[in-house]
Structure 1
Amino acid sequence: MEKVRSSVTNFFGRVPLSYTRFSLTQQTDGDASQVEMKLADDEECGDQAVVEHVVKPRNGNNHSKSLCFKILFASLIFLIGFLIGYLSYRGRSEYALPKPNNDHNGDSDDLSDPEVFIAPETSNILYWGDLRSMLETETAKSTSVFTDTIKKWSEKSSEAEPAKEESVANWIHDEFSNIGLDKVWNDEHYVRLQDAGSSLNKVTVLKNGQEVIKVISPTTYVAYSPSTSKSGGLVYCHYGRKQDFITLSEKNVNVTGNLVLVRSGLISLSEKVKNAEFFKAIGVLIYPEPSDFAFPGDASQIINAPFGHAHFGTGDPYTPGFPSFNHTQFPPSESSGLPKIPVQTISSDDGKNLLEFLDGVNCPSQWGVQCMLGPKLKEANSVTLEINNVLAEKKIYNIFGFLRGFDEPDRYVIVGAQRDAKGPGVAKAAVGTSVLLEMAQILRNLVKNEGYKPRRSIVFASWGAGEFGSVGATEWLEGYLTTLHTKAIAYINLDSTVQGSGTFRASASPLMYSILKNTMNEVNVPASSYTLSSLFNKDDSKFEDIIVPFSMEDAAYPFIAYSGIPSVSFSFKKDSKSYAYIGTEMDTFQSLQSLVDIDTMCSTVTQIAGQIILRLTHDHKLPLDYDEYNGVLLRSAMALSKKYATLKEKGLSVKWIYSSRGDFKRASDTLTREFTDSDTDDKPMLRSLNDRIMKVEHNFLSPYVSPKDTPFRHIIYGYGNHTFTALMEHLNLADTNNQLFDEDLFRNQLALFTWTIQEAANALSGEIWDIDNEF
């Protein structure tokens, strides 16, 4: 505009004319609209050529010149007005909401399909405070719908078993479609699950090998247990952890050739079985100890035998590492995590009765149980475990719906809940499903009615066969692993989120810690004015106290440990204890209602998950805090430093661990500066920086192990010789049992662990020409 004024001044101030160019440029999403006007010494005005380079006397042909100037000035004003109108129209049209593509019957879940994504040119312009307020308002409107949805789910899930899976899946599909999501589709798999046999499993206490003293016939079973019969003595092994078995060894209690009795909790059921196998037990009995669990009201302190699975892995154990599709021609394959010894859960009362049969050495005082360890039995000499489970091939469904992002539709946040349950499953599955459906409705309302434009897409997932070890979720991950690690931002798990009230616990990737903290600072404790952060500020507790390790039974676990996708699970509990009835026939609506206000708790869960989703889809910069991993890596290096003398004796050093961790720290600091200095309107640059953040978790998957043989490849949170935990356990053998220490194996563990960290640092640094590391 300054050039325009200068040109006009030239006309009216009688200064020499010169070649002048001006442009009015509007740049939105890379589009440019440019208008040029030339005022040159050889241009004509009407029929009058302007050829003089000097100022004419005022008494010259003033009439012709005046007419020329007026025409030029009028043309200039017209062009300026036209440009102002054009820019105004473009501004209005860019912020108009797009028409949703309600293709509810599509069967493709390739979210990178260009026909699926026709993204508008702009993203949201809402401030976070306004968006959070909208979420609270929408959630408040829907508080009373959760119990209705749970009851509908219960009606569908109570149908005959053969029709149950398909009926509930179709209902979820219809619900997603009715909400008006941008696309709804199904994902089908043919998997091998396990059912109870025609006759009940049994535990029999015998005298002299023939006389029956006691028979236990549980009404449930443990999936993937071998169908066999084993007899032997009985040993009590507390929670079945490795340290518990080591304690037995120190007390000269022989586990080999005997069955073990353990209580549930602290570690997954499958891990208990794995440990028992390692110490050469021939079978496992698992009972719930009432003191470990929370009960509703004045309920009887008795817990029936819970359902569980014994696969030390995830997904369909008969297609490890690859998805279960129909009529595949793959060779027969079995997961190495399938148990080789029989396992059965029993009730809390049956567990106590078996304890009374034990004789021998007293239990350690630190176990807090007055009992004998066995394997001798009072009035008896053996226990027989008989399993009659049968394998069955079944068709399962994953149901998806999504809301399309406006800036980066091919980047998406996934939120999911398992749909199936053994027994009523209200706390286990119905609560998560009701929150999933209502959250889809709320977020759709924000987009449709409130003008929210998420930068990235949101995928809502209802998983099949979750009870058997996250089978549906894992088969989907296996089917789209190559795509997901470059496009999936995070996973939020809604299973078993309401198990009480008053205490909040979460399992999360370090990348999700900051999001979790910020959310806890803004969501209130149910039925109070205090934020959730007050739960870890009281009694001198810290945020770290609410973080618990991922369980292998957690549906979020395969996302982080197998696929390298940042994940979070959370739940409300009573006195930090798990709900007693999960996995049993007592997990009913009435039981949960007598424990908590279901609507209030579900509304709070929706607020937490909703805020996490909105934070991940609202900001220019992904709010995944990659800097948190600096602390994780530093603690690992310090743990190794405590073994300095042992390492030095082997000719090894922690120098390279500290070096790779230092490179990761420098890379994270550099990336933070790049974000600070970046232009928020430079979308290609922002996308490039965000992609580096997205891949941090995936870069901690070891590239040196097979996803088929070692699915949990994460070096910090996985299982296997590639992990830091395995490395430290092996190094400890050098001090405790040097004959078992394999120096070559340890050197490989240390080298590959170190180089995985170095690769993560290099990837975070950006392009190869930006990396300045000395190997």
Structure 2
Amino acid sequence: MNSPNPRTIVIIVSLSSFAFLLGVITGYLSRPVHKDSSETLLDKLNRDGDRRLFEQFKEYVDTEYIDKVIRELTRRPGLAGTPQQKQNAEYIRDLWHQQGLKAEIVQYKVLLSYPKGNHTNKVSLYDASGSELFTSKPHEKPLVDEETPEEVVQPFNAYSPNGFVKGDLVYVNYGRAEDFERLNEAGINVSGKIAIARYGKIFRGNKVKFAEDNGAIGIILYSDPADYNTPGDERYFPGGMWLPGSGVQRGNVVVVKGDQSTQGYPSTNYSYRPDEEEISKQFPSIPCHPIGYDDAYFLLSSLVFGEVWQDWQGRLNFTYHITGLVDNRTVLMDIQNENVYRPIYNVIAKISGTIEADRAVIFGCHRDAWVYGAVDPISGTSILMETARIFAKSYSSGWRPRRSIVICSWDAEEYGLVGSYEWVEDNMKWLQNEAVTYVNFDSAISGNFTFSSRTVPLLHDAVYKATMALPSPYNSSLTLYQDWRSKSDSRSELPEPKIQPIGAGSDHTPFIALAGIPSTYSKYTGYIIDGKVISTDTYPLYHTRYEQYELVKMIDPGYTLAKTITLFHCELIRELVDARILPLNVRTYAAVIALNIRRLEKLRADFTENNVEYNELLASIERLKTAASIFHQKIVNLDHSNPLQVRMINDKLQSVERAFIVPEGLPLRPMYRHLLQSPSGLNYYGGTGFPGLEDLLELPNSNPQKWPQIRKHVTILTHSMYSLATVLEKD
């Protein structure tokens, strides 16, 4: 008898070992998790989320608790870096502890900006002899009783450099790139002058940068009645929601976010920090200061040269002019700010998952404000707190989430998303490995007209599905989705309500633009006043002293909208946490990419002329579309009873956004690393299809590096499309 050859022996041993291992695994998976439960671990692995939990959420939601949180957090100003912010952090931590949540305060020491000492920042107007004709008011007029009015910080723009500058004035409309371009085409020179721009349309920091790029020596920002009031309606706060003439919008002016002293790394006790001179290079080089429209009246009415174009006319009661102060008057800006290191406090709570504890759905909202911040951010914080309370109560009632939940209260968002940036940088490796999504709550009740959403394409379907699950707050016969759709400005051929690109401007930014974590940010916007829909760029009292508790009660008197947006977030997060297959749609992402590339078709001849591999980019997008469709079909045909296959699919879905993260960042803005979901270079608040490519296309053709950089960046874009397609194609 022939003895078996060694290869046969190896095969027999291997098969025996495999059979034994399979038996062990099967036995383990089949064992009861608890002695008193018949549900096995395999049963749990194969269990879908229970949609009946949403009915429980409806019973749990408590608008009195929402009101309690808003009242408490708007009693005193919530400026970052002040003792009050530490107390607010402890208040939130203690509430979460009472509800059974594990919560901790995470502290960072960061560089913040304040008006210097007892100095009053101001803008003044002088006649030809040097006599002062006007000086801006140092504070907004208190209009309701305030518990600690001395804590209200004077109007200022954070991180504005100091300056004592004097010169002629030039009106630059909204201070956008196209506004300065129009002035240049008209032969009006901004260089050596002080610019004055109205708030709105784009991020204030972009206004400052464009003024600086055009040679201005300073810039004044104000809120024009055309953008922050409505004609014929004089119901100014506290009699209504409109902005009084003394109201001033505060805000930061930096385009690089996070702690300014530790860019790219967390602000820990071991972090290297450059010296003050090096850090100052990140800030604008010209002073910036905000004023109210009562003060702006004196400046703008003194201009006499060049009647403005019709679309530049504001609603102060005179004809606006562009430049040339009457009688040789001059404007003086006297700005003295200081940058100081202060502690900030994030509060982080967690509910551990029972099946996929190593996968986390994160939601958060900042709680700091320039003054009282009733809308921004406390309306969002109150809904965050109610959502957290509902999940904590569900947990105590026996619900166990499939994935982990992380709940975050951020500090110092108003200074450039500082708290969230530092935490993301501090936890980058863990987040990129385990984070599924981030849901942002900021300014949740910004208006009372319609639901709106800024969301990455992967999450479009999840947002739509959640809005289909609950009724409209205005018409119970309609779903929230149907009400949203009826009010959407979406093109008529699209059946879904319009979702805006994610953009930036709130705490979702480091998650998506730095770490590649799918993010969404939904809220109520627009106004219905006396049955009429009022369109405003933002809510009129934004970042002013008058954004107080009373404002939220005007917008949402019975907290009907607050209840709706709470339930929306509960259902969205429940689906993200409990769905066996992550509700992320790659086909939607590929379709949006294809739509965005078509908008660049007008540049095809320029690409060809400059040897850009544009056709290869188009081919890579087509391959991605095909791969996404095939991958979607894999999900449809998936054996859902096989937890290993489910996990493999989810891991691929979780890797989609990471495929577009490049360590070197965008060509002109390396602090933003997502090739597709970084903010626009022309407007930090807005999103765009291909932000890095569009940055480069804005460069003048005289720049010798323009087309070489475009060729390189198109290569990187093409590679990312092919790489993601390969991930989706592989078994």
Distance in 2, Cα, partners of 1:322 & 1:122:
39
Shift of 1:242: 0.8
- Is the aligned partner of 1:763 residue 2:727? yes
- Is the aligned partner of 1:215 residue 2:135? yes
Aligned counterpart for 1:340 among listed residues 280, 285, 309: 285
Distance in 1, Cα, partners of 2:679 & 2:32:
59
Aligned counterpart for 2:712 among listed residues 742, 748, 756: 748
Shift of 1:709: 6.6
CA gap 1:703/1:729 in 2 versus in 1, 3 angstroms? closer
Partner of 2:469, secondary structure, is coil
- Is the aligned partner of 1:138 residue 2:60? yes
Partner of 1:657, secondary structure, is helix
- Is the aligned partner of 1:317 residue 2:274? no
Aligned counterpart for 1:588 among listed residues 548, 557, 562: 548
In the other structure, the counterpart of 1:560 is 512
Shift of 1:301: 4.3
Shift of 1:558: 2.4
The answer to whether the 8 A contact 1:714-1:723 is kept is no
In the other structure, the counterpart of 1:670 is 630
The answer to whether the 8 A contact 1:521-1:532 is kept is yes
Distance in 2, Cα, partners of 1:260 & 1:444:
52
CA gap 1:738/1:706 in 2 versus in 1, 3 angstroms? closer
The answer to whether the 8 A contact 2:46-2:580 is kept is no
Distance in 2, Cα, partners of 1:159 & 1:657:
47
The answer to whether the 8 A contact 1:318-1:334 is kept is yes
Shift of 1:390: 1.2
Shift of 1:475: 0.5
Shift of 1:723: 8.3
Aligned counterpart for 1:194 among listed residues 113, 134, 159: 113
The answer to whether the 8 A contact 1:733-1:740 is kept is no
In the other structure, the counterpart of 1:514 is 461
Specify the code of the residue in structure 2 equivalent to 1:262. Answer: A
Shift of 1:681: 2.8
CA gap 1:456/1:127 in 2 versus in 1, 3 angstroms? closer
- Is the aligned partner of 1:547 residue 2:503? no
- Is the aligned partner of 1:481 residue 2:428? yes
In the other structure, the counterpart of 1:185 is 104
In the other structure, the counterpart of 1:302 is 244
- Is the aligned partner of 1:32 residue 2:31? no
The answer to whether the 8 A contact 1:225-1:341 is kept is yes
Aligned counterpart for 1:439 among listed residues 383, 387, 391: 387
Shift of 1:641: 2.9
Decide which structure has the larger Cα Rg and report it.
1
Distance in 2, Cα, partners of 1:477 & 1:213:
49
Specify the code of the residue in structure 1 equivalent to 2:65. Answer: V
Distance in 2, Cα, partners of 1:383 & 1:564:
46
The answer to whether the 8 A contact 1:641-1:654 is kept is no
Moved more, 260-269 or 628-637: 628-637
The answer to whether the 8 A contact 1:206-1:214 is kept is yes
In the other structure, the counterpart of 1:400 is 348
In the other structure, the counterpart of 1:626 is 586
Partner of 2:63, secondary structure, is coil
Identity of aligned residues (%): 27
Specify the code of the residue in structure 2 equivalent to 1:145. Answer: Y
The answer to whether the 8 A contact 2:159-2:283 is kept is yes
- Is the aligned partner of 1:422 residue 2:370? yes
Specify the code of the residue in structure 1 equivalent to 2:481. Answer: S
- Is the aligned partner of 1:165 residue 2:97? no
Where in structure 2 are the equivalents of 1:373-412 lying within 5 Å? 373-412=321-360
Moved more, 536-545 or 585-594: 536-545
Specify the code of the residue in structure 2 equivalent to 1:204. Answer: S
The answer to whether the 8 A contact 1:404-1:456 is kept is yes
Shift of 1:158: 7.1
CA gap 1:193/1:708 in 2 versus in 1, 3 angstroms? farther
Distance in 2, Cα, partners of 1:461 & 1:28:
43
The answer to whether the 8 A contact 1:204-1:384 is kept is yes
Shift of 1:359: 2.1
Distance in 2, Cα, partners of 1:256 & 1:159:
35
Moved more, 404-413 or 624-633: 624-633
Distance in 1, Cα, partners of 2:33 & 2:52:
26
Distance in 1, Cα, partners of 2:655 & 2:349:
24
Distance in 1, Cα, partners of 2:611 & 2:80:
65
Distance in 1, Cα, partners of 2:638 & 2:412:
45
CA gap 1:168/1:707 in 2 versus in 1, 3 angstroms? farther
- Is the aligned partner of 1:462 residue 2:409? yes
The answer to whether the 8 A contact 2:620-2:721 is kept is yes
Specify the code of the residue in structure 2 equivalent to 1:494. Answer: F
- Is the aligned partner of 1:287 residue 2:222? yes
- Is the aligned partner of 1:724 residue 2:690? yes
Aligned counterpart for 2:662 among listed residues 686, 702, 705: 702
> CA offsets, 1:216-238, max 9 Å, x none?
13431111000121222211111
Distance in 2, Cα, partners of 1:424 & 1:580:
15
In the other structure, the counterpart of 1:102 is none
CA gap 1:570/1:598 in 2 versus in 1, 3 angstroms? farther
The answer to whether the 8 A contact 1:320-1:708 is kept is no
Distance in 2, Cα, partners of 1:589 & 1:740:
54
Specify the code of the residue in structure 2 equivalent to 1:205. Answer: L
Distance in 2, Cα, partners of 1:156 & 1:261:
32
Structure 2: 5+ residue stretches without partners: 1-19, 140-154, 230-235, 528-533, 682-687
Aligned counterpart for 1:251 among listed residues 183, 186, 199: 186
Partner of 1:390, secondary structure, is strand
CA gap 1:300/1:572 in 2 versus in 1, 3 angstroms? closer
CA gap 1:716/1:362 in 2 versus in 1, 3 angstroms? farther
Distance in 1, Cα, partners of 2:595 & 2:447:
33
Distance in 2, Cα, partners of 1:745 & 1:635:
24
In the other structure, the counterpart of 2:601 is 641
Distance in 2, Cα, partners of 1:184 & 1:567:
23
Aligned counterpart for 2:312 among listed residues 337, 355, 367: 367
Partner of 1:581, secondary structure, is coil
In the other structure, the counterpart of 2:5 is none
Distance in 2, Cα, partners of 1:160 & 1:634:
42
The answer to whether the 8 A contact 2:241-2:540 is kept is no
Moved more, 598-607 or 363-372: 363-372
Shift of 1:580: 1.6
CA gap 1:318/1:729 in 2 versus in 1, 3 angstroms? closer
Specify the code of the residue in structure 1 equivalent to 2:217. Answer: I
Distance in 1, Cα, partners of 2:712 & 2:504:
26
The answer to whether the 8 A contact 1:640-1:654 is kept is no
> CA offsets, 1:351-372, max 9 Å, x none?
2332211121121223343744
> CA offsets, 1:91-142, max 9 Å, x none?
952549xxxxxxxxxxxxxxxxxxxxxx998369576541222222222xx1
Shift of 1:633: 1.9
Report how many aligned residue pairs link the two structures.
664
Shift of 1:161: 7.6
Specify the code of the residue in structure 2 equivalent to 1:568. Answer: T
Specify the code of the residue in structure 1 equivalent to 2:66. Answer: F
Distance in 2, Cα, partners of 1:279 & 1:167:
44
In the other structure, the counterpart of 1:13 is none
Partner of 1:260, secondary structure, is strand
CA gap 1:628/1:465 in 2 versus in 1, 3 angstroms? same
Shift of 1:606: 0.7
Shift of 1:733: 6.5
Shift of 1:33: 7.6
Distance in 1, Cα, partners of 2:259 & 2:698:
35
> CA offsets, 1:687-725, max 9 Å, x none?
221121112122222344389972112222325899834
Distance in 1, Cα, partners of 2:617 & 2:78:
55
Distance in 2, Cα, partners of 1:443 & 1:758:
40
Shift of 1:376: 0.9
CA gap 1:492/1:127 in 2 versus in 1, 3 angstroms? closer
In the other structure, the counterpart of 1:74 is none
In the other structure, the counterpart of 1:572 is 524
The answer to whether the 8 A contact 1:200-1:217 is kept is no
Distance in 2, Cα, partners of 1:659 & 1:247:
38
